[in-house]
């Protein structure tokens, strides 16, 4: 009497990545908190535009001013979107269901990253559009010339900078896997650490020289300006290894090896 042993090949997934991305996008919108977080991005963009029209002096009514006003809250909200897209599997205890239906955890994490980036790109396109509308309306209301002072290449680097910020939030979500902890970690990364590095750069000459090479926040500053040099791209690359690549690699390894409860 022979006994047949069934084996399951877990090296390949029969579910297309595009389908998983669609599921992750739907999961980002179909909860009450997710819906209002996404809605808040649109609401904040509209409020920032109206505020510039009302309060900004006539000489500051430029496309760049609208973009800056909208971009600041976007830079805070988008990483939180990325964090919640990851940590929801653990904080809401849906990870066991997700990874049972689709045991290829790496593919799920990749799909979450793609979905978060898509949301960021669409949100930034919306911010540029509403900024353009605000620029035209603001100039007409105040009787000044419409000023378009943000070139297309600068728009691309601004989008890239916001994607970097979102990916840092995503990395913290993968690494910490707790919504509150990852959000606190992101605010520490965004506000506390730059303050410490800024103080060191102001008081220590040796640190001022190496700061752009190890401070990911500082290295990204040229992306918001109208040109990035080769050296500045190198600084972005080296600092991203310290603050993004290595922590993300460890976080993904931990997700792949940890027990899901």
pLDDT digits (tens, 9 = 90+) for 30-75: 777 777 777 887 888 888 888 888 888 877 888 888 888 888 888 8
Q: What is the pLDDT of residues 166-188, one digit of tens each?
A: 999 999 999 998 888 999 999 99
Question: What is the rounded distance in angstroms from the CA atom of residue 106 to the CA atom of residue 52?
Answer: 43
CA dihedral sign of residues 85, 88, 90, 96: negative
Q: Which pLDDT belongs to residue 1? A: 47
- Longest CA–CA separation in the chain, Å: 93
pTM for the structure as a whole: 0.85
Which stretches in the chain have pLDDT values below 70? 1-13, 91-96, 260-261
Q: Give the start-end residues of each E strand in the chain.
A: none
Question: Which of the 8 DSSP states describes residue 259?
Answer: P
Cα–Cα distance for residue pair 239/249, rounded to 1 Å = 15
Q: What is the pLDDT of residue 54?
A: 86
What stretch of H or E contains 103?
Answer: none
The ranges assigned to domains in the chain are: 17-256
The per-residue pLDDT for 172 is 94
Yes or no: say if 212 and 189 are a contact pair by the CB < 8 Å rule.
no
Are 89 and 157 in contact by the 8 Å Cβ rule? The answer is no
Q: Are 56 and 65 in contact (CB under 8 A)?
A: yes
Looking at residue 248, what is its pLDDT?
A: 94
pLDDT at 186: 93
3-state secondary structure of 6: coil
Which residues are 62's β-sheet partners? Answer: 147
Spatial separation of the C-alpha atoms in residues 74 and 86, rounded to whole Å = 19
């Amino acid at each position: 009497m022979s006994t047949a042993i069934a084996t399951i090949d877990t090296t390949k997934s029969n579910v297309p990545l595009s389908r998983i991305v669609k599921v992750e996008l739907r999961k980002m919108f179909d909860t009450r908190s997710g819906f209002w977080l996404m809605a808040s991005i649109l609401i904040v963009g509209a409020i920032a535009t109206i505020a510039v029209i009302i309060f900004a002096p006539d000489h500051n009514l430029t496309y760049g001013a609208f973009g800056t006003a909208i971009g600041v809250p976007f830079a805070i909200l988008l990483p939180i979107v990325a964090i919640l897209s990851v940590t929801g599997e653990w904080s809401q205890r849906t990870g066991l269901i997700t990874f049972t239906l689709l045991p290829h955890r790496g593919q799920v994490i990749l799909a979450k990253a793609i979905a978060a980036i898509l949301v960021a790109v669409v949100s930034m396109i919306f911010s540029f559009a509403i900024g353009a509308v605000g620029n035209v309306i603001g100039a007409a209301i105040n009787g000044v010339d419409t000023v378009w002072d943000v070139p297309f290449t600068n728009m691309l680097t601004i989008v890239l900078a916001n994607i970097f910020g979102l990916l840092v939030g995503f990395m913290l979500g993968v690494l910490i896997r707790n919504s509150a902890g990852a959000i606190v970690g992101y605010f520490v990364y965004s506000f506390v650490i730059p303050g410490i590095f800024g103080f060191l750069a102001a008081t220590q000459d040796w640190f001022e020289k190496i700061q752009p090479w190890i401070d990911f926040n500082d290295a990204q500053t040229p992306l918001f300006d109208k040109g990035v040099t080769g050296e500045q791209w190198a600084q972005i690359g080296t600092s991203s290894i310290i603050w993004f690549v290595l922590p993300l690699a460890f976080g993904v390894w931990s997700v792949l090896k940890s027990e899901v409860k």
